[in-house]
């Protein structure tokens, strides 16, 4: 995915004449050259007290956008920078500013959008499973005991979208 975001490969749906309009919205720390290094840098500097397992999620990638018509309106009315800042503010409030390691605005595809990379740092202790068996309701999305991802991720973003009429 980093190759797509960083445009080290040219996707078929991207217009190479518009790639120069893409922009990094978050500066990497000194000595960090790309997303992959930024993820590792965050993990190294997060002050974690436990080892990260090979099967643990190290980064979450999120795409933020609107309908093509909505994004055209935002662009035509000169509010694209405001839209980007509103989304960055939501990401920082939701995941913690230090955990948002990258955000790239893509303008060379049909609909403008942001690719954000989050490092989900969890500082709490691991909970031991009863009898070594996982509680499926705690890990399966959309079960009765756990709200769906739509409820937990998309609905809190809505207030940030209201001023843009998305």
What is the Cα–Cα distance from 30 to 9, expressed in whole angstroms?
A: 25
Closest CA relative to residue 73, chosen from 27, 23, 111, 117: 111
Q: How far apart are CA 15 and CA 35, in angstroms?
A: 22
The predicted structure's pLDDT at residue 50: 81
Rg of the chain over Cα atoms, rounded to whole angstroms, equals 18
Cβ atoms 114, 65 nearer than 8 A? yes
At the top level of CATH, which class does the domain 2-164 belong to?
Answer: alpha beta
Cα-to-chain-centroid distance, residue 77: 25
Domain-wise residue ranges, the chain: 2-164
Question: Residue 156: pLDDT above 90?
Answer: no
Q: At which residue do the structure tokens 């980064």 appear?
A: 59
More confident residue, 79 or 11: 79
Q: Look up residue 130 and give its DSSP letter.
A: G
Around Cβ 160, how many Cβ atoms within 10 Å? Answer: 20
Sheet holding 100-106, edge to edge: 23-24, 100-106, 113-118, 60-64
pLDDT at 153 over 90: no
In this prediction the pTM is: 0.76
Closest CA to 164 of 112, 127, 93: 112
70-128, pLDDT tens digit by residue?
Answer: 999 999 999 999 999 999 999 999 999 999 999 999 999 999 999 999 999 876 665 66
């Amino acid at each position: 995915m980093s190759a797509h975001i960083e445009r080290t490969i040219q996707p078929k749906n991207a217009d190479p004449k518009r790639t120069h309009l893409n922009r990094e919205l978050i500066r990497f720390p000194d000595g960090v050259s790309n997303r992959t290094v930024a993820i590792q840098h965050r993990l190294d500097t997060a002050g974690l007290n436990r080892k990260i397992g090979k099967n643990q999620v190290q980064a979450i990638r999120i795409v933020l956008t609107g309908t093509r018509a909505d994004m055209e309106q935002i662009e035509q009315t000169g509010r694209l920078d405001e839209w980007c800042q509103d989304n960055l503010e939501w990401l920082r409030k939701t995941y913690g500013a230090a955990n948002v390691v990258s955000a790239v605005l893509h303008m060379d595809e049909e609909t403008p959008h942001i690719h954000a990379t989050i490092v989900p740092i969890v500082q709490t202790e691991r909970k031991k499973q009863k009898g070594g068996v996982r509680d499926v309701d705690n890990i399966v999305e959309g079960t009765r005991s756990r709200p769906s991802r739509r409820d937990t991720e998309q609905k809190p973003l809505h207030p940030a979208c209201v001023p843009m009429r998305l």
